[in-house]
Amino acid sequence: VFSVFSTSKNGYATEASFETKPFRLHKLEAGPSTHVTCTREEALDLYKKLHTIRRMETAAGNLYKEKIIRGFCHLYSGQ
């Protein structure tokens, strides 16, 4: 479930809320909250980090294919 809490004057969301499924727990009495709130700034920061990691992984994959990086290179792109 996804809902937008508030919007700015230009019509873009400034905050979003998500409901997640409860986790199955092992040796824990209480799990993390199933209600998550994310601000626009937090979401943009996470997106920038994700984009940087994906670009680095693509570059590493290319270097591995060119045999510049030796050994084993497991890529997580698309997961």
Record the pTM. Answer: 0.67
**pLDDT of the chain along its 79 residues, tens only?**
555 556 666 778 889 898 999 889 999 999 999 999 999 999 999 999 999 999 999 999 999 999 998 898 888 876 6
User: Computed over its alpha carbons, how large is the radius of gyration of the chain?
Assistant: 19
Q: How far is the C-alpha of 65 from the C-alpha of 59, rounded, in Å?
A: 10
**C-beta contacts of 69-73 below 8 A and 24+ residues apart:** none
| All structural domains of the chain with their residue ranges | 2-65
